Amino acid sequence: MKNIGVKLATIIMTLSLVVGCNAVKNANNTQKGGAIGAGGGAVIGGIIGNNVGSGNNTALGAIIGAVVGGAAGGYIGNRMDKQAQRIEEEIPGAEVTRVGEGINVVFNEDAGVYFDTNKSDVKGTSANTLDRLIGVLNEYPNTNILVEGHTDSAGADAYNMTLSKQRAESVTNYLVKNGVSSSRLTTKWYGEAQPKSDNSTAEGKAKNRRVEMVIVADENLKQEAIQKTQ
């Protein structure tokens, strides 16, 4: 976590030099997408994505690494604002975070997507939650979706890696089976390597047993954004 803190501090300093602290601090999410891009566009986004994504927050790295920037970034940010709001409306328990030009959604047991011990099949409440998510994803078809699987620290590393893979693939397969195009989806898994909470407590472990999703613009939306803002 300390390494991530240093990296994030470096990122903030870089953005401050490029676009000015006050401009970013006072902007809404749509404006932030444009402000970051105006200061350096995809080059800065790629640097941030590589730095953060290689550590303990690959979701954040994927979002910021896909940045378009400039006025087009603001256009995309507006779309993401609306989609994030729809996800929060449909799934109140989900942890929805808007970052630059993308969305990070975290599903744990409290958010309605969970798995029985040592199991990876989607059923019951988890299926109902994903059904509501699918409706929103299909309202905004010009996006790509990264699905990440994570576990707590109970059990051997190799076992947890396999379990996180099975759970992430289970969610991806459920999305495809129920109407989300497979061309939009990428699946990754990290076992216990990226905890969000303290694995020494039952509450922390429950939060670490999760599936995360990253939603970013696809090429069609990027081209639309560029054309609309020229």
pLDDT of residue 161: 95
Evaluate if residue 185 carries a pLDDT over 70.
Answer: yes
For helices 2-19 and 29-38, the axis angle rounded to 10 degrees is 80
Domain extent listing, the chain = 2-229
Evaluate if residue 217 carries a pLDDT over 50.
Answer: yes
Evaluate if residue 137 carries a pLDDT over 70.
Answer: yes
User: Which residue from 40, 12, 41 is spatially nearest to 24, judged by alpha carbons?
Assistant: 12
pLDDT of residue 55: 55
Q: With cut-offs at 50, 70 and 90, classify the pLDDT of residue 195.
A: very high
One-letter amino acid identity for 50?
Answer: N
Asked if residue 91 lies in contact with residue 108, where contact means CB atoms within 8 angstroms, the answer is no
Domain covering 2-229: architecture:
2-Layer Sandwich (3.30)
pLDDT of residue 116: 74
DSSP string across the chain: -HHHHHHHHHHHHHHHHHH-HHHHHT--HHHHHHHHHHTTHHHHHHHHHHHHHTTT-HHHHHHHHT---HHHHHHHHHHHHHHHHHHHHH-TTSEEEEETTEEEEEE-GGGT----TT-----HHHHHHHHHHHHHHHHS-SEEEEEEEE--SSS-HHHHHHHHHHHHHHHHHHHHHTT--GGGEEEEE-TTSS-SS-TTSHHHHHHHSEEEEEEEE-HHHHHHHHHHH-
Evaluate if residue 222 carries a pLDDT over 60.
Answer: yes
40 vs 79, residue with greater confidence: 79
Asked if residue 137 lies in contact with residue 145, where contact means CB atoms within 8 angstroms, the answer is yes
Report the percent of the chain where pLDDT is more than 90. Answer: 53
pLDDT of residue 119: 78
Contacts 24+ apart (CB under 8 A), 117-126: 118/163, 120/163, 120/166, 120/167, 120/169, 120/170, 121/170, 122/170, 122/171, 122/174
Q: What is the pLDDT of residues 152-173, one digit of tens each?
A: 999 999 999 999 999 999 999 9
pLDDT of residue 11: 45
User: Which residue from 115, 91, 123 is spatially nearest to 105, judged by alpha carbons?
Assistant: 91
Evaluate if residue 139 carries a pLDDT over 60.
Answer: yes
Evaluate if residue 150 carries a pLDDT over 70.
Answer: yes
Q: With cut-offs at 50, 70 and 90, classify the pLDDT of residue 90.
A: very high
Q: With cut-offs at 50, 70 and 90, classify the pLDDT of residue 136.
A: very high
Alpha carbons 206 and 3: distance in angstroms, whole number:
24
pLDDT of residue 149: 93
Asked if residue 108 lies in contact with residue 207, where contact means CB atoms within 8 angstroms, the answer is yes
Q: What is the pLDDT of residues 19-75, one digit of tens each?
A: 333 333 334 444 444 443 333 333 334 434 444 444 578 888 888 888 899 999 999
Average pLDDT, the chain: 79
